[in-house]
Structures are given as C-alpha cells and as structure tokens.
Amino acid sequence: MPVSTRSKAISQEQNGPNPNQKTRPPSYSNQEDSKMNVPLRNPHHGLKEKMKALTLLYEQQKKSSSIFRNPSPKPEEKRFSTHPSADLLNGCKREDKDSKETKEPKQNNVMRENALPTLHSANPSSTVTRTFVLPEPPVDDAKENLVMGPDRVIGFLTCPRKTKDSSTVARKLSMGSSVSQTEPRGFIRPKNVQENEKLETVSEKNDAGGSRILVFVRLRPMAKKEREAGLKRLRGRHFTFDAAFPDSASQKEVYSTTTADLVEQVLQGRNGSVFCYGATGAGKTYTMLGTVENPGVMVLAIKDLFTKIRQRSCDGNHVVHLSYLEVYNETVRDLLSPGRPLVLREDKQGIVAAGLTQYRAYSTDEVMALLQHGNQNRTTEPTRANETSSRSHAILQVVVEYRVRDNSMNVVQRVGKLSLIDLAGSERALATDQRTLRSLEGANINRSLLALSSCINALVEGKKHIPYRNSKLTQLLKDSLGGACNTAMIANISPSNLTFGETQNTLHWADRAKEIRTKACEAQEEIQLPECETDQAKLLLEVQKENRELRVQLVHQQQKLLSLQAQLLAANTSPTPPSITSIQTPPSTAIPEKRKAARPSFLGGKLFHTRIEKKRRRGSSRQRASADCQGIGGRN
Ligand SMILES: Nc1ncnc2c1ncn2[C@@H]1O[C@H](COP(=O)(O)OP(=O)(O)OP(=O)(O)O)[C@@H](O)[C@H]1O
C-alpha cells in the first residue's frame, strides 16, 4: 500500500502540484486515490498524512469490530482478538488473509473424514486451527464413507481412532473392469492386510461402547468352465472393506485375519460370530468348512481354541460344549442328533433352540468327528450353479466355560460363545434348478436372506424395531447382528462375469453391513465369593454329623426297646412279675410324665397289652404244634 502511494505521489510530483489538493477523507482507497489524480504538494507530507489517516481508520475499525464481538471486552481479550483462530471461532468478518486460513481448516476437516489418521496428524502447524475451528467429530459420528465422482467410490477407512500408519494398505476392492484372471486390481495381499488388521483388535473396538461388524471379501479362483467362458469388461465400481482376499489367499490367512481375534475374545468370556455370505457357488462352504487338505474357518477355529485351552489349562478349567444346527426350509434341525424340528425360544441368553444337543468336547479330534457327523446330516444338493450346494444355513456354536479360583479363593466363571455360520447361497431362480423342491428351497433361502437384508437395513438406519422375527435365520442371528457380540462377515464372491449381478449384490450388502454397530460386548464373568461356598460346606458337614449321631441314637433306642420287651415278656410269663415301675428307663430316653399319659404309648397303654396277649397265645399254640409234631415224629 505505501509503495503504490509513493509511486503515485512521484508521478503526481512530476506533473506538478495541484492547488486544489484537499486532504482525502480516510475512507478512500488507493485506487480511488489514483482515480482522483490529485497531485500532492509535498509527497512526504502526504505520505505521513495518509499513514496517519489509515492508522486511524484501522484503529477505528478494529475498535468497532471488537465492540461488535464483545460489548465489554477485557483488555487481555482484545489483545488476542485478531488471532485468526479466535476470529474464526467468533465468526466475524475476515480479511483476505483470514479467509485463506479458514479454507485450511475446511480441508483438514475433509481429510479427517476421509483420510487416514496419519494424514491429519502429520501437520503439526494446523493444531491450533483445528483446536479452535473445527473440533474433530466424535468417532462414532464420524462418517466413514466417501462418495466421489460419477462412479461411486466408497472409501471405508481404518478406524479414525487409530494413530498407526495404515496408509500403505488401501483396502479397496474394484469390480467390473478390474476383474482380471491373475489378480484383480484392488485386491490386497493378506500379508499387508494382516499387519494392518492386527492394529484393530476386537477389544480396542469395544472401548467406545460397541463395535462395528468387520467385513471381509474373499474371491474364489476361477472354475474351468468360467475360464472358458472368458471375461467381459464392465464399468468399474469400487468398494473398500476391512480386508480383501485374492483367489490365492490360503485358508490360514483368511482364518487369522477374520476369526483368530474372536477366538481369543471367546476365551475371555465374550461372544463372537463369523458368517459367510454370498451367492451360490461363491465359496462360503469352502471358507467355513474347507477340505481335508485345506480345512476352513470352523476347523481352524476349533484347533486354535483347543491349543489355547491347552496352553492355559494350568490356571483353570475350561469346558467346551458344542452344538450344530441347520435352518432348512424355515425349520430348525439338530445336525448332531437329527430328529423333530426344534422350536426357537427367547431366554436370558438370547434366542435358543429348545432341545438342541450340547456335546461336551474334550479334544480337537472329537470336535472334528462331531463336525463330520453333522455335515453328513446337512442338506446339500447338486444344483446347476454348484455341484454340492448347501440348501440350508448351518450354525456351529461353541460355548467355552472357564472356572478358576483367583488369589482370594473366589471362583471366577466366564462364558463365551462362538457362532460360525455358513449361510446358504443367495441365488436367482433361473440360475439354479427348476424342480419343485429345489425351487422351494431356493425361495426359502432367498426369503431368509431377504429377511437378513431387512434387518441389516433397519440396523444401519438405526430403527427401533428390527424385524428379526421374519425368519428363523434372523432370529438365530439376532445376537450376532444386534447383540453384544464381536461379529465378522466374510462376503464370498466369484470372479466370473456370469455371476456379475450376484457379486454386485453381495458387495452391496457387505458394504451396508459395515455400518452396523453391535452392542458393547462385555465379558460374561461371574465371581462367587468363597464364604458362600465354605458356609455351605460347613452346613453340610454339620447336617451329616447330626444325621450320624441320630442314627446311632436310634439303634441304641431300638436295642433298649427290644430288651425291655423281652423283660416284660419274661415278667408276664413268670408267676411273680416284677413291678413295671422297677424297670429303669435310661435318662436319655426318659419321657416326661405328662407326655407318657398323653401318648398312645405301647409302654402303659392298651395296645401294649393286646400285643403281649397275642404273643402269649401264639406261644402256647406253637408249643401245642411242636407237641403235635413230636407226636407225629414219634409215631414215625
Ligand atoms: N478359495 C477357494 N479355493 C479353491 N476352491 C474353491 C475356493 N472357494 C470355492 N472353491 C470351490 O468352488 C466350489 C463352490 O464352492 P462352495 O461349495 O464353497 O460354494 P458355496 O458358496 O458354499 O455354494 P452354496 O451356497 O451353493 O452352498 C467348490 O467346488 C469349492 O471347492
């Protein structure tokens, strides 16, 4: 500003002084000044005047703006009123410089929503601005999805609470044009994923009072037929999930990334569920059960569970119970002991199948045998889409109970439940078989999956009523979806463009499921105080002791009674019976006089005499009989 004024002043000087020169009103700008084209008498004098006027103007404006903001400002506050952050905080009019600074925090905010935490924490200079201008939104409310461009790009990024660098892993999955025969673009090697996922343990997710469902995607390898059919390039659409497994991913990689953490949590008394979702033939059963050479999540989880139990067996008792059921055509059936359909009931533990067999398992081998037995009972049929298509939803439940005495001799009991679910494949009626039973099965499968999608929708939209009751499957999954449970979903997809629609549908629901938050999963732990137990034990011992003493007394009394009866009998038969009063009653059995009279006792009452009389008669008849016998014998 002074420079331009000086140059103007010089040019004005060169043009000669203007006698009509007037002191400019302070509100004039430099441009207006130049337009007026009024030469100054003394350039230095004019400059000084201008400086003064402008300083005055600046002071006035500053005063008025501070009064506008704060009617009674304290001198200290006034000092800081020009701080950009304070200006932004108060929302007053900004100058160009300030407006530049306001743009910066906005950018920061966008980054906070969408970029990895390291990105916004990498700029220490913006700390002040962030603190005052746009405080970081609470994690729960933070929107994690980003929509970009005409093709929807959904960026699901790591939990914003994480501070570790995960920028190396863009967990993004591309569909359509990205499908290639070798490794589809966007698929991330689980090695990287694992490194990243390790950061996000289930327990960490729980501290905010609830955890979101972790969603993984697994691509199966191309089948021969599909390869022959070739590939068709389609317009791309991008999804991002917690991890995406390429067709080369091993079963162990899938297990350790998706389920291993949940197994650990179950041992600590929390509930966990893993379910495979996807179109028919997409690889759900392969992921869950696997083959003998390549066992799947169910088998690996059981193995891991028993290994962990063995490692910890020195400090407590673990009891493992197992149940395996299927939902077939809207009926619940026990796979371990098939019989009549089971009825679902809701109790304190949640939805339970009444009468479901709970097997106690002691080793991995035993569980394997049970699993095999259960799978033989499972309904699978060949369809056009899959040779061994599962026509039912199968749920393996493993309940781990742990009892241990702590240092204070309290009994600590923890119960955790792991549910491993292999859903039947969603399918188009035409894609499978047209036969009546198959189409009925297909309709029921689709119906339950539709009910599942309605529940997912309701949960994502935060509705009060979640329609779990619409199908048996959703009733059984109630805990996994909306309960206190750590849940992982594995969406299985096929690389074939023949199933593009189904794959798109699977990814759509998987993407939606990411937004579901389950309730806080507290460890189910009970502590029993030792006093209670010892008190009960003491009481039991006392009762047992008393019981023993009473038995001894009873035997004693019976003996005495017998001897008394014998004496009486002898007295009755003898010519001079001893007086009854002379018979000494032991002090312990002495009966008070009053009671003696009141009780219908056989000692002095009618009953006693009647019996004695009967015995006497019997005795005399026996004597007669023996005499008769002797007579007969003598005769012989
Ligand atoms: N990751 C994989 N690696 C090797 N083969 C696989 C893989 N995933 C699936 N398959 C094979 O693909 C075929 C179909 O898989 P699978 O039976 O698991 O599908 P599904 O989703 O359970 O189907 P459905 O819903 O009809 O039961 C099987 O022959 C299976 O062995």
Residue 627 has pLDDT above 60, yes or no: no
Highest mean pLDDT among 25-29, 226-230, 543-547, 576-580: 543-547
* Pair (491, 564) in one structural domain: no
- Beta strands 331-334 and 317-328: pairing type? antiparallel
Residue 572 confidence (pLDDT): 84
Q: Look at the chain and report how many structural domains it folds into.
A: 3
Residue 342 confidence (pLDDT): 92
Instruction: Tell me which of 220, 422, 444, 498 to substitute to probe ligand 1's pocket, judged by most ligand atoms within 8 Å of the beta carbon.
Output: 220
Residue 106 has pLDDT above 80, yes or no: no
CA 246, 249, 251, 257 torsion-angle sign: negative
Residue 202 confidence (pLDDT): 38
Residue 95 has pLDDT above 60, yes or no: no
For residue range 32-59, what is the model confidence (pLDDT) as tens digits? 344 444 444 444 556 666 667 767 776 7
Ligand 1 atom nearest residue 423's Cα? 25
Domain end point (choices 34, 54, 82): 82
Ligand 1 atom nearest residue 388's Cα? 17
Residue 36 half-sphere exposure toward CB, CA atoms < 13 A: 19
- By C-alpha distance, which of 327, 325, 412 is closest to 374? 325
Query: CA 488, CA 481: separation in Å to the nearest integer?
Result: 10
* Pair (200, 69) in one structural domain: no
In a domain, 30, yes or no: yes
For residue range 293-343, what is the model confidence (pLDDT) as tens digits? 999 999 999 999 999 998 886 655 888 999 999 988 888 999 998 888 899
Residue 546 has pLDDT above 80, yes or no: yes
Share of the chain above pLDDT 90, in %: 16
Ligand 1 close to Cβ of residue 390 (< 6 A): yes
Ligand 1 close to Cβ of residue 290 (< 6 A): no
Instruction: Tell me which of 286, 327, 445 to substitute to probe ligand 1's pocket, judged by most ligand atoms within 8 Å of the beta carbon.
Output: 286
* Pair (491, 601) in one structural domain: no
Provide the ipTM: 0.98
233 vs 165, more confident: 233
Residue 353 has pLDDT above 80, yes or no: yes
* Pair (231, 178) in one structural domain: yes
User: Phi and psi for 159 in degrees, rounded to 5?
Assistant: -55, 130
List, as own/partner pairs, every contact residues 9-14 make where C-beta atoms lie below 8 angstroms and the sequence separation is at least 24, other chains included.
9/40, 9/43, 9/46, 9/47, 10/43, 12/37, 12/38, 12/39, 12/40, 12/43, 13/39, 13/40, 13/43
Ligand 1 atom nearest residue 276's Cα? 21
Give the contacts of 424 (CB within 8 A, at least 6 positions apart).
280, 389, 390, 391, 392, 393, 441, 445, 448, 449
* Pair (415, 295) in one structural domain: yes
Residue 375 confidence (pLDDT): 87
Per-residue buried b or exposed e for 561-577, using 16+ beta carbons within 10 Å of the residue's own CB: eeeebeebeebeeeeee
Instruction: Tell me which of 227, 285, 287, 378 to substitute to probe ligand 1's pocket, judged by most ligand atoms within 8 Å of the beta carbon.
Output: 285
**How far, CA to CA in Å, does 120 sit from each of 111, 140, 193, 250?**
6, 18, 22, 35
Domain CATH code at residue 185: 3.40.850.10
Other C-beta atoms closer than 10 Å to the C-beta of 138 total 9
98 vs 471, more confident: 471
Flag whether 281 is marked binding: yes
**Structural domain boundaries enclosing 46:** 2-82
For residue range 406-446, what is the model confidence (pLDDT) as tens digits? 777 778 888 898 999 998 876 654 444 455 666 666 677 77
- Which three-class secondary structure state does DSSP give residue 534? helix
Residue 180 has pLDDT above 60, yes or no: no
For residue range 147-157, what is the model confidence (pLDDT) as tens digits? 233 332 222 23
248 vs 521, more confident: 248
What's the rounded mean pLDDT across residues 266-293? 90
Query: CA 380, CA 375: separation in Å to the nearest integer?
Result: 9
In a domain, 119, yes or no: no
* Pair (551, 522) in one structural domain: no
* Pair (458, 373) in one structural domain: yes
Output the CA angle 346-348-354, nearest 5 degrees. 45
* Pair (74, 211) in one structural domain: no
In a domain, 151, yes or no: no
- CB of 325 closer than 8 Å to CB of 283: no
- By C-alpha distance, which of 283, 221, 183 is closest to 496? 221
408 vs 174, more confident: 408
Least confident of 124-133, 190-199, 207-216, 257-266: 124-133
The residue whose CA has the least distance to atom 23 of ligand 1 is 281
Residue 521 has pLDDT above 70, yes or no: no
168 vs 42, more confident: 42
Ligand 1 close to Cβ of residue 280 (< 6 A): yes
Residue 258 has pLDDT above 50, yes or no: yes
Give the contacts of 278 (CB within 8 A, at least 6 positions apart).
284, 423, 425, 426, 491, 492, 493, 502, 506
From ligand 1's centre to the CA of 164, what distance in Å? 36
Residue 348 has pLDDT above 50, yes or no: yes
* Pair (559, 518) in one structural domain: no
Give the confidence band of 270 by pLDDT, cuts at 50, 70, 90: confident
- Across the strands, what pairs with 350? 347
Torsion angle of C-alpha atoms 14, 19, 20, 22, degrees rounded to 10: 80
Give the confidence band of 490 by pLDDT, cuts at 50, 70, 90: very high
Whole-prediction pTM value? Answer: 0.56
Query: CA 449, CA 426: separation in Å to the nearest integer?
Result: 7
- Across the strands, what pairs with 390? 380
162 vs 386, more confident: 386
What's the rounded mean pLDDT across residues 263-279? 90
Residue 79 has pLDDT above 70, yes or no: no
**How far, CA to CA in Å, does 464 sit from each of 120, 455, 460, 468, 615?**
36, 11, 11, 12, 85
Torsion angle of C-alpha atoms 250, 256, 259, 265, degrees rounded to 10: 170
In a domain, 143, yes or no: no
Residue 242 confidence (pLDDT): 93
447 vs 354, more confident: 354
From ligand 1's centre to the CA of 391, what distance in Å? 14
Domain end point (choices 498, 528, 558): 528
* Pair (606, 507) in one structural domain: no
Residue 144 has pLDDT above 90, yes or no: no
In a domain, 273, yes or no: yes
From ligand 1's centre to the CA of 579, what distance in Å? 101
Residue 533 confidence (pLDDT): 62
Is residue 536 exposed (0-12), middle (13-18) or buried (19+ Cβ within 10 Å)? exposed
Torsion angle of C-alpha atoms 248, 249, 252, 255, degrees rounded to 10: -150
Query: CA 242, CA 196: separation in Å to the nearest integer?
Result: 9
For residue range 570-613, what is the model confidence (pLDDT) as tens digits? 888 766 544 444 444 444 444 444 444 444 443 334 444 455 55
* Pair (191, 326) in one structural domain: yes
Ligand 1 close to Cβ of residue 7 (< 6 A): no
* Pair (486, 368) in one structural domain: yes
Note the residue count of the chain: 636
Flag whether 279 is marked binding: yes
- Which three-class secondary structure state does DSSP give residue 321? strand
What's the rounded mean pLDDT across residues 478-501? 86
In a domain, 20, yes or no: yes
Query: CA 554, CA 552: separation in Å to the nearest integer?
Result: 5
In a domain, 422, yes or no: yes
Ligand 1 atom nearest residue 291's Cα? 31
In a domain, 115, yes or no: no
Ligand 1 close to Cβ of residue 518 (< 6 A): no
- Beta strands 350-354 and 359-361: pairing type? unpaired
Residue 217 confidence (pLDDT): 96
